[in-house]
Amino acid sequence: MSELTIVKTKPLKGDQYYPVEKTKNQIFLHHTAGTTAEGAIAWWNQTPEAVGTPYVIDRDGTIYECFDPDYYAYHMGVRGDNNHVEKHGIGIELVSAGHLYRLKGSEKLYFLPLYPKTLAKKEIPAEDRIKLPDSWRGYKHYHKYTDAQIKSVCALIEYLCKRYDIKVQDKSRQFFTYDESGEVLKGKGGIYSHTTVRKDKDDIFPQKNFLDALYKTFSKIRGDKKEPKVKEDKKEPKKTSKTTKTKKSKK
């Protein structure tokens, strides 16, 4: 397992999570829709709804543990699963502004913060962004995940899977596409993302070097003798058979 350092200097307030031990069989990847770990944690600490994840990975790869992952807080914003994914899923947030906007008359790309409302738009420089070959959830331009974050999240996933005996699903190459079957909300174990259970979210987005590193990690955790060569298809299926009711995100 890769070297792992976890920092516990930015905890959530005690009333922002539930100190109740739950079994864990799922991991969900997110991004913060912001540009600093400190900003994400400060946002959570001022909400009244116990919103947060046990882990936030900053742009430099620093892993912050906000509370013990045995416990839980709300991080998915879904209905119909009796809060299974909240209680039995471990959330990991990567600091990223997510999708970016090009304002009318400008070639620059911006992050438009949701919190606080008074915060001005922020330009994301070219070296920190990525243009996807295909639109993802309505956008092509994103605040890219850094190499340091990718290395850290892979090491953290490996650690958590070992600690909680979380099994990586066999068909993991489309883990970030929407689960039409509803099996994930019913408790199917494995590694997923916010987009797996929410059609209105874009975290995570399919950044190639990020996905390549994740697939390699998944294969290692499963103990695959040789990772199968699978043609990559980052587009979600057009056909839908079931719609999952959602509520407004608490992130």
Least confident of 18-32, 94-108, 112-126: 112-126
Given a contact cutoff of 8 angstroms between Cβ atoms, the answer to whether 12 and 18 are in contact is no
Given a contact cutoff of 8 angstroms between Cβ atoms, the answer to whether 92 and 57 are in contact is yes
Across all residues in the chain, what is the average pLDDT? 88
Spell out the residues 6+ positions from residue 64 whose beta carbon is closer than 8 angstroms to its own: 6, 7, 8, 9, 10, 37, 41, 55, 56, 57, 58
Q: Which two tokens stand for residue 155?
A: 């090491």
Model confidence band, residue 130 (pLDDT cutoffs 50, 70, 90): very high
Spell out the residues 6+ positions from residue 132 whose beta carbon is closer than 8 angstroms to its own: 140, 141, 142, 205, 206, 207, 234
- Of all residues in the chain, what percent carry a pLDDT higher than 70? 86
pLDDT of residue 246: 40
**Residue closest to 77 by CA, chosen among 200, 191, 206:** 200
DSSP helix/strand/coil, 244: coil
Is residue 243 pLDDT above 50, yes or no?
no
Q: Tell me the mean pLDDT in the region 59-80.
A: 94
pLDDT of residue 148: 98
| Angstrom distance (rounded) from CA 8 to CA 243 | 39
Is residue 249 pLDDT above 50, yes or no?
no
Architecture of domain 16-98+142-222: 3-Layer(aba) Sandwich (3.40)
SS3 content of the chain, % helix, strand, coil (to 5): 25, 20, 55
Q: What are the residue ranges of helices labelled H in the chain?
A: 37-46, 84-88, 147-164, 194-197, 208-222
Predicted TM-score (pTM) of this structure:
0.87
Model confidence band, residue 19 (pLDDT cutoffs 50, 70, 90): very high
